[in-house]
Structure 1
Amino acid sequence: MEQLRQELPGWVEASRLKAKEGRVAAYIPELAKAPAEALGVTVIGPDGEMVSAGETSLPFTMQSISKVFTLLLAFMDNGEEGVFAKVGMEPTGDDFNSMLKLELVEPGKPFNPLINAGAIAVASLIHGSTSSEKTERILRFFGEAAGGERLGYNEAVYRSESATAHRNRSLAYFLKDNEVLGEEIDVEDVLDVYFKQCAVEVTCGQLARMALLLAFDGTDPLTGKELIPRRYVQIAKTFMITCGMYNASGEFAIRAGIPAKSGVSGGILALVPGRFGIGVVGPALGSKGNSTGGVHLLETMSSAFDWSIF
């Protein structure tokens, strides 16, 4: 960690130059307010030691990073068979909000749980009698994963996302028509859960703590408590490698070689199995929807310390 502590500030400043090549997400109006030049990272080890550099106190919403943890909760609620009855296991090669293959490929279920259609299907699997109860369970689970913190969602981002989510509504109703969402499922209730999970607000430190849990296969190394069965974390990490960085997942796997999941707020959760949890924020995005500065920083770190799992 000492070398990382020495090198990290310089690497952040070098990667900050890459942020100038990206743009803040504007299709959700509230996200457009984020500082495009910001870049921060926190790395946490199994003893709780943390190394940070850049704007790590900047709060941001999890967006698609949340999909990893709702997937894990859905596994715990329904088992593998129950989840994979609704979503597949394959990358799509399409944009994360595409509905193309829902219509063209039988049986019409989402290819994987990390695209929007798949995450909406997963949200429908979270146990609870109301959307509010489901959201409360998600917040509690996310907080436990972050080391027992109380997490909440950003009301302004949630409302902005809900008001402009025409594509996601289309996907959800298409899933209903394809019977991926069952007769008993209220589409608007599922969407409410989905929009709120995406709007859960974190800092780099909280995200790194969540990543540390995954790095140690669902057992918190700071407490020794198993929060998630190892098998489910294995599946989630596999999806992070194959689908976690949108249509740049293959390139990131080659260049960095570590499990990661990005979100359009500029957040990236990454991990080095058995060693570190990493939380990054850099709101300026490239054409594939990933933080330009964040991706460059993770690639730099992985190369310097030979973190690739391959």
Structure 2
Amino acid sequence: MEELQRLVDLCRPLYTRGQAASYIPALADKDPSLFFVHIIDEHGKSFSSGDVTEKFTLQSISKVISFIYVCEEHGLDEVLKHVDVEPTGDSFNSIIRLENTYLGKPFNPLINAGAITVSSLLVGNTKEQQLVGLYNFISKMTGVETTINEEVYQSEIVTADRNRAIAYYLKSNEVLVGDVEVALDNYFRQCSIEVDARCLAKIGLILSNDGVDPLTNEYFFSKKIAKVAKALMLTCGMYNASGKFATFVGIPAKSGVSGAVLSIANPESMEGLSGKIGIATFGPAIDEIGNSVTSIAFLKKISEQYDLSIF
């Protein structure tokens, strides 16, 4: 798979165009020059570059996973009573749309307001039960026990003033369900979940195959939920650069400020890889919007090289 490796090597030096996230202190220490890629297809074939065993936190990628999980538990129609599926064009932590919208319903589950609302819908009578359900859901997909990065979790807590404001505003409009502090803590913990590139790509593969693991035929969530999740990733997944990403890359993707990006595609042929694929990239140097600069460059190049765009 020499061509894929060539594209990785071509993009790796571009990390100098960004820097590791600084507003969450525990993320600022990551070496910005790191770049990992893991791609797996529906036949079990894979491509890896870099240390794909090194763990990183999901951050905003957890938003699409928790949305899928809650929809599978409650039903899509019930969840959509609390959060919409419209893009905003605003930054991920914006509050302005809540104030300008009837009853303050979040525009989509991939912005902070929507994700915090979704976290309030996690299933269970206690916070511990709610988190165990989400952790187990992720563990079953990846085959690896789900853990959180305690240092990142603590950093999330101490830098959460804006998220607290959003959550209490949602509660005042009767959008957020249950206790505000429980919903917030669930949200901070899900953002702090650790995975490696192999696990993230496996989640992408299952999503690409409409909720069924093509390697084991195990069911995780419905095709209807998968369809909505993929549409959200395409229209809202790359923060307020989602429109540009859809235009110039054209595949469903979700990024996190840790530098990770989850993507899915369906190439006819990609150096021995074909059919439904999950793509995980990690490069801690992010741009001013919050997207990994090396990941964006790599995804754009493979989209052009292997005609991955859905358009």
Q: Name the SS for the 2:146 alignment partner.
A: coil
TM-score computed with the length of structure 2 as normaliser:
0.95
Letter paired with 1:82: E
TM-score computed with the length of structure 1 as normaliser:
0.96
User: What residue is the counterpart of 2:259 in the other structure?
Assistant: 266
User: What residue is the counterpart of 2:298 in the other structure?
Assistant: 297
Alignment deviations for residues 111-170 of structure 1 (CA, whole Å, 9 cap, x no partner): 000000000000111111111111111111011122x22121111111111121111111
Taking the aligned partners of 2:220 and 2:174, their CA distance within structure 1 comes to 32
Taking the aligned partners of 2:300 and 2:54, their CA distance within structure 1 comes to 22
Q: Name the SS for the 2:254 alignment partner.
A: strand
**Residues 1:22 and 2:18 aligned together:** yes
Please state how far the C-alpha of 1:7 moved relative to its aligned partner.
1.4
User: What residue is the counterpart of 1:168 in the other structure?
Assistant: 163
Please state how far the C-alpha of 1:8 moved relative to its aligned partner.
2.2
User: What residue is the counterpart of 2:269 in the other structure?
Assistant: none
* Mapping of residues 54-93 of structure 1, within 5 Å: 54-93=50-89
Gaps of 5+ in 2: 267-274
Please state how far the C-alpha of 1:55 moved relative to its aligned partner.
3.4
Alignment deviations for residues 218-277 of structure 1 (CA, whole Å, 9 cap, x no partner): 010000111111100000000000000011111111111110000000000001145211
User: What residue is the counterpart of 1:230 in the other structure?
Assistant: 223
Please state how far the C-alpha of 1:99 moved relative to its aligned partner.
0.5
Please state how far the C-alpha of 1:13 moved relative to its aligned partner.
1.8
**More divergent stretch after superposition (125-134 vs 6-15):** 6-15
User: What residue is the counterpart of 1:194 in the other structure?
Assistant: 187
* Mapping of residues 93-242 of structure 1, within 5 Å: 93-146=89-142, 148-182=143-177, 185-242=178-235
Please state how far the C-alpha of 1:107 moved relative to its aligned partner.
2.5
Q: Name the SS for the 1:63 alignment partner.
A: coil
Please state how far the C-alpha of 1:54 moved relative to its aligned partner.
2.3
Taking the aligned partners of 1:214 and 1:46, their CA distance within structure 2 comes to 11
Q: Name the SS for the 2:245 alignment partner.
A: helix
* Seq. identity, %: 45
| Backbone CA RMSD of aligned residues | 1.0
Q: 1:249 aligns with which of 237, 242, 245?
A: 242
Count residues with an aligned counterpart: 303
Letter paired with 1:90: E
- Runs of 4+ in structure 1 displaced over 3 angstroms? none
User: What residue is the counterpart of 2:277 in the other structure?
Assistant: 276
Whether contact under 8 Å (1:60, 1:202) holds in the other structure is: yes
**More divergent stretch after superposition (287-296 vs 98-107):** 98-107
Taking the aligned partners of 2:48 and 2:283, their CA distance within structure 1 comes to 14
**More divergent stretch after superposition (104-113 vs 204-213):** 104-113
